[in-house]
Structure 1
Amino acid sequence: MPYALFYNDAQLSKAYPSEADVWKIAQQSGLVVDVATDEDRPGPRRILDNDYEIKPCRTGPGEDPAKNKADAERQSRMELQFNS
């Protein structure tokens, strides 16, 4: 089942093959923050900023979550090259 980034039930991102893929995209986009945890959990935990959520989604017509992931990875590599 594909996953995407949502805000108030509106899908903000393309669909990706897994929840972990969306977390990675959100991290690269600066949407993940670390917060202090309660005393039951050691260390900080990651949450999405501004009440964003990652949820299962349907794919749009002609949308391919695997292609979206490959495109995002290619874009990330290109950005790293340009920033070097």
Structure 2
Amino acid sequence: MPYALFCNDAQISKAYPSESDIWQLAQRSGLVVDVSADEDRPGPRRVLDNDYEIKPCRAAQGEDPAKNKAEAERQSRIELELNS
């Protein structure tokens, strides 16, 4: 099942093949923060800023999560080249 980024129950990203893909998108967008450890988990843990959530979703009609992932990876490479 595809996953997407949500804010206040509204889907704000395209659908991607896996939850890991959305974490990467959120990280690049500056939405991931590290918080200190708690009693149950040692070391810092990743959480999303504000009211953002990662949830399973259905791809929109005609949307291809794998194509979305490939497009995001290509865009990320272009940004890296421009910033070099």
Q: Name the TM-score, length of structure 1 as normaliser.
A: 0.96
Residue 67 (structure 2) pairs with residue 71 (structure 1)? no
Quote the Cα distance in structure 2 between the aligned partners of 1:2 and 1:36: 30
User: Alignment partner of 1:30: what SS?
Assistant: coil
**1:1-84 alignment runs, 5 A limit:** 1-84=1-84
What is the CA-CA distance between 1:40 and the residue it aligns to? 3.0
- Matched to 1:56, the amino acid is P
Quote the Cα distance in structure 2 between the aligned partners of 1:2 and 1:70: 14
What is the CA-CA distance between 1:43 and the residue it aligns to? 1.1
Structure 2: give runs of 5+ residues left out of the alignment. Answer: none
- Matched to 2:61, the amino acid is P
What is the CA-CA distance between 1:38 and the residue it aligns to? 0.8
What do the CA deviations read for 1:35-77 (whole angstroms, capped 9, x no partner)? 0121332211000001200000011111000000000000000
Q: Could you say what the CA RMSD is over the residues aligned between the two structures, in angstroms? A: 0.7
- Matched to 1:43, the amino acid is G
User: Alignment partner of 1:50: what SS?
Assistant: coil
User: Alignment partner of 2:62: what SS?
Assistant: coil
Quote the Cα distance in structure 1 between the aligned partners of 2:40 and 2:59: 38
